[in-house]
Amino acid sequence: MGSCFSAETDSPLPNGANSKCSRKDGNGTSGSSSRVSSVSVVPRTEGEILLGSNIKSFSFNGLKTATRNFRPDSVLGEGGFGCVFKGWIDEHTYAPARPGTGMVIAVKRLNQESLQGHLEWLTEIKHLGQLYHPNLVKLIGYCLEDDHRLLVYEFMPKGSLENHLFRTGASYIQPLSWTIRMKVALGAAKGLAYLHSDKAKVIYRDFKTSNILLDLFWGCSPRNVKR
């Protein structure tokens, strides 16, 4: 897998709002933002999150430990939503793990000053918590505690397609062979086709190289619909 869509979606929300989402902040993480219009209610409690999925509820202290207190050198990317941090958790218990052990995750932390950011955060959970596909970056869980809003995604170790095509990161980033480019393009197309299918019913409106993340095998999987 390897491609993550930071997606924009048009689909009805349970409270009668229309959501337009865009997602993933560039790393090998996910950081997206959703824009919601015509909102009549601003959900503020965990009970108002659609939990009909297998996403996990994390504690803030647990994610703080997993990311080594959100250290600056753990930052994978930054966008309008906030920063995305690299962290480690036990793959079975999801408890914080020592760096270099367990499962690597990408933790997106919402900028606490934005009301609109909370709506984007909530929209992302509602959509991604119900969508599963090999070409979508997986939403593992979330944290809603006091004023803290965080999202936990699978980590995409090769970063964004943009970085590899234009070498916008460090000079050590590898250029892509044409074979890998075609593989990534096919994976992205499969993810996009799934989102636009009758099953997902998502209109992805932010399809670009910075929103396609790559795994170790240079796959393209949008398990992440950042709407």
Which among 146, 147, 206, 215 is annotated as catalytic?
206
Quote the CA–CA distance of 186 and 132 in Å, as a whole number: 18
Contact of 17 with 34, CB cutoff 8 Å = no
How far the first Cα of the chain sits from its last, in Å, is 19
Quote the CA–CA distance of 68 and 5 in Å, as a whole number: 27
Q: What backbone torsions phi and psi does residue 196 show, to the nearest 5 degrees?
A: -90, 5
Contact of 156 with 25, CB cutoff 8 Å = no
* Catalytic residue check, 206: yes
Kindly list the catalytic residues.
Answer: 206
